[in-house]
Chains A and B, each alone.
Chain A
Amino acid sequence: MSDAPVLEVNDLSMVFGGLRAVDNVSLNIKKGEIVALIGPNGAGKTTFFNCITGVYIPTHGEVKINTSEGSAVLNGLKPNVINEKGLARTFQNIRLFSNMTVLENVMIGRHQSLKSGILSSVLRTKKNRIEEQKVIDDSYEILRKIGLEMYVNELACNLPYGAQRRLEIARAMATNPFLLLLDEPAAGMNPQETNDLVELIERLRKEEDITILLIEHDMSLVMTLSERIYVVDYGKMIATGTPEEIKNNKEVIKAYLGEDIDA
């Protein structure tokens, strides 16, 4: 069973009115892989993420995970339940809790792991105090790993842009996922920040035993990081393969550069 893909998406479609934003897409990811999903703007990549993470309920198709705890179908589950199953994501348009501190953003990621109910927090039982201290320390540790510890007590909205993107990753990592979905993590970053990001993603995979699916427009990042690439255009999957294969794929070049490629 160990080589069954951790994420298995079969014939997924998402229709908005008359628009097939995602059209019969299938994809699977093996444990420990870094896979990229690329395609022009409006191709349906973010919508694909939204279907997997429960923000939208897909019109058709199946999303399945296989973990050590067995297999599960994710369709129709609420986003928070899907997160509980071990999928965490970041957002293309940064959606931090802007008026909370950096540490608190990460602490919210730890929500699922906390056991105390309202009553024990109101009574401040010993168990509750220990748990609260642990969540603070754990969150700080995560921030340290991601390199944001100098901002702990800053408001999330006061962070520089690149740091906000990293905080999105920190927050997602706090939920303890086996699969991390990154939606354009390098968007708006300068080359230095992008390099740091590449280094971070590689480190996360190695140290945290995590599988990563990422959407990205920065081709050099995609080519360095990913083992396999899926390409979508107008909602349809048009190619899949290793970076080398994708680089030389006619369909892909056409999708990116338009029809006039031969002229």
Chain B
Amino acid sequence: MNLEYFFSLFLGGLTRGSIYALIALGYTMVYGIIKLINFAHGEIYMIGAFTSLIIGAALAMSGMNPILIFVLACLAAIVYSAAYGITIERLAYRPLRKAPRLSVLISAIGMSIFLQNYVLLAQTSDFLPFPLVLPNMKFLKPIEHMMTTTQFLILISTAVVMVLLTILIKFTRMGKAMRATSQDKDMAQLVGINVDRVISMTFLIGSATAALGGVLISSHIGQINFYIGFIAGIKAFVAAVLGGIGSIPGAVLGSFVLGLTESFGTGYISSDYEDAFAFIILILILIFKPAGLLGRKENEKV
């Protein structure tokens, strides 16, 4: 057994897992609060990637320092994705707050189709090379063949986001309001929580982390098009479900399980079935743990 190969697969899996986690957070938070599979979430991630591509390319023409460009493009992506996230909630989900769950889901699917085609028509259907590349960091030189600078950055940013989010949810007023709302919306309203604000905030945070994921993975892979949101969105959703949808630690765990499975699966079994591993492990886990790894079994009171 080749240890080095194993480690590079392991690190590859962690990187993938981190990205899935950044996207899966949005799914799981939104689900936790309004019980909606936000089908358009993958598109938010794609819009984040596109915004950073556009802003990054425009800034690059002015000959700015690449690190500064990266930071500015990242910020633009986060701001815009968050703005799209809350706008979509306002337009397509809020009017359906009292409607059956399936109606909201269809509305989300509609939004997803709309956003894909919006970017397709306003920009292009071609794959575009992603302009944001970071100079290699010197201290990573010895392990460069196993871990690139971008990979390193992905792992670090994910860790930072996780810590910040935990602090936000555990210790701030907004976090408390979010937890209360996810427990019981009507009750939260009664005790004076502005539920609409909490929901907007949830979309904002989820969209912002997805945008960060979008920028990072795009600079790792090197090209994007309007369709990248769909498959990434589905994978991240699978990760959220694996971990137990609605649970934030669950989403992170599910993402890493998924990332590692895919990495080892493609490395040791077959790269043809890259996407199938995700779905197979999902079905296996749900057969044995129908509520996901960390999800609580909903024992319906009768």
Contact = CB atoms under 8 A, between A and B. Distances in A.
State whether these chains interact. Answer: yes
Interface of A: 16, 46, 50, 55, 91, 93, 95
Interface residues of B, number: 2
Contacts of B302: 46, 50, 55, 91, 93, 95
Nearest to A46: B302
Top 3 closest pairs, chain A to chain B, by CB: A55-B302, A50-B302, A91-B302
A32 to B, nearest CB: 28
Contacts, number: 7
Interface in B275-302: 299, 302
B71 to A, nearest CB: 49
Contacts of B299: 16
Contacts of A95: 302
7 contacts: A16-B299, A46-B302, A50-B302, A55-B302, A91-B302, A93-B302, A95-B302
A93 B302 CA distance: 8
Interface in B107-136: none
A227 B228 CA distance: 70
A218 B299 CA distance: 29
A9 to B, nearest CB: 18
A116 to B, nearest CB: 31
A46 B302 CA distance: 8
Nearest to B300: A55
Contacts of A16: 299
A16 B299 CA distance: 10
Contacts of A46: 302
B217 to A, nearest CB: 41
A91 B301 CA distance: 11
Nearest to B299: A16
B40 to A, nearest CB: 28
A16 B302 CA distance: 14
Contacts of A50: 302
Contacts of A93: 302
Contacts of A55: 302
A157 to B, nearest CB: 13
Interface string B212-229: 000000000000000000
A91 B300 CA distance: 14
Nearest to A49: B302
Interface in B246-301: 299
B137 to A, nearest CB: 50
B119 to A, nearest CB: 39
Contacts of A91: 302
Nearest to A95: B302
A95 B299 CA distance: 17
A122 B107 CA distance: 35
A55 B302 CA distance: 8
A37 to B, nearest CB: 16
A50 B300 CA distance: 12
A46 to B, nearest CB: 7
A95 B302 CA distance: 9
A160 B302 CA distance: 22
A191 to B, nearest CB: 28
B94 to A, nearest CB: 24
A238 B289 CA distance: 39
B123 to A, nearest CB: 44
A106 to B, nearest CB: 21
Nearest to A89: B302
Nearest to A55: B302
A63 B5 CA distance: 60
A50 B302 CA distance: 8
A46 B301 CA distance: 10
A33 to B, nearest CB: 25
A55 B301 CA distance: 10
A103 to B, nearest CB: 24
A247 to B, nearest CB: 31
A50 B299 CA distance: 13
B298 to A, nearest CB: 13
A235 to B, nearest CB: 16
A101 B302 CA distance: 23
A98 to B, nearest CB: 12
B296 to A, nearest CB: 11
B301 to A, nearest CB: 8
Nearest to A17: B299
A208 to B, nearest CB: 25
A79 to B, nearest CB: 10
A50 B301 CA distance: 10
